[in-house]
Amino acid sequence: MKFKVLYLSSLPKSLPIKSIVLFFLLFLVGVIIPLPKIAKQPQVPAAFSVTEHYARFIPTIASFALPLLQRDPIGLIQIINVSIATTIATHALKWGLNDVVVFGRRLGERPNGSSKNMPSGHSSMVACALGFLVRRYGWVWLWFLPLALLTMGARIYLNAHTIGALIAGFSVGILCVLFLTSRFK
């Protein structure tokens, strides 16, 4: 019974409509506008390599650790909800948009030729963690933004995603946060 009450109280009482519209439009920009593909880079800078293999997990760890440290059960429920919703939304869109062609380009085609490009899962998950920390605990957590940008940059340098897929993925993560997270009191 207590979990049910906690879960119901974890749902936001109001939604930031202007922010939701902004990030939905940003998602459409990532999907519709034919941004240029970046050619495969001969060498990946060390910062991108370290980010891809290690540092990109820091915001995710912080987004789960902070509710525990703050003794914030509602925040813990919210980050679990946001993570699940972001994962489901990202993979549903990857499958749904894989064969869609816009302006002569298949959205699912990655720069390296493989499929399921749109949206980027790395971008959506780092945005989910960053967005949760900022929305729940305040703007001070924006100091993780450079790590989010490095994560996205690494995907470009590794020839794994298009710029549009990164923008769309980032938007998906933030949209899930906006729908499922409230401020910490």
Tell whether 47 is covered by a domain.
no
Q: When comparing pLDDT for 4 and 1, which is higher?
A: 4
Tell whether 43 is covered by a domain.
no
Return the DSSP state at 62.
Answer: H
Tell whether 84 is covered by a domain.
yes
Tell whether 15 is covered by a domain.
no
**How many domains is the chain partitioned into structurally?**
1
What number is the average pLDDT over the span 76-100?
Answer: 96
Digit-coded pLDDT (tens) for 131-159: 999 999 999 999 999 999 999 999 988 88
Q: In 70-116, which ranges are continuous DSSP H helix?
A: 73-97
CA 74-78-84 angle, to 5 degrees, is 150
Give CA–CA dist 145/143, Å, rounded: 5
CA gyration radius, the chain:
17
Kindly tell me if the per-residue pLDDT of 40 is higher than 80.
no
pLDDT of residue 184: 93
Residue with tokens 């998602």: 27
pLDDT of residue 104: 87
Compute the mean pLDDT over every residue in the chain, rounded to the nearest whole number.
93
CA 154-155-159 angle, to 5 degrees, is 110
pLDDT of residue 1: 60
Give CA–CA dist 169/171, Å, rounded: 5
Q: When comparing pLDDT for 1 and 109, which is higher?
A: 109
Tell whether 168 is covered by a domain.
yes
Tell whether 69 is covered by a domain.
yes
Q: C-alpha dihedral over 49, 51, 54, 57, to 10 degrees? A: -150
- 155: containing domain: 57-185
What number is the average pLDDT over the span 63-81?
Answer: 97
Kindly tell me if the per-residue pLDDT of 91 is higher than 90.
yes
Q: When comparing pLDDT for 185 and 134, which is higher?
A: 134
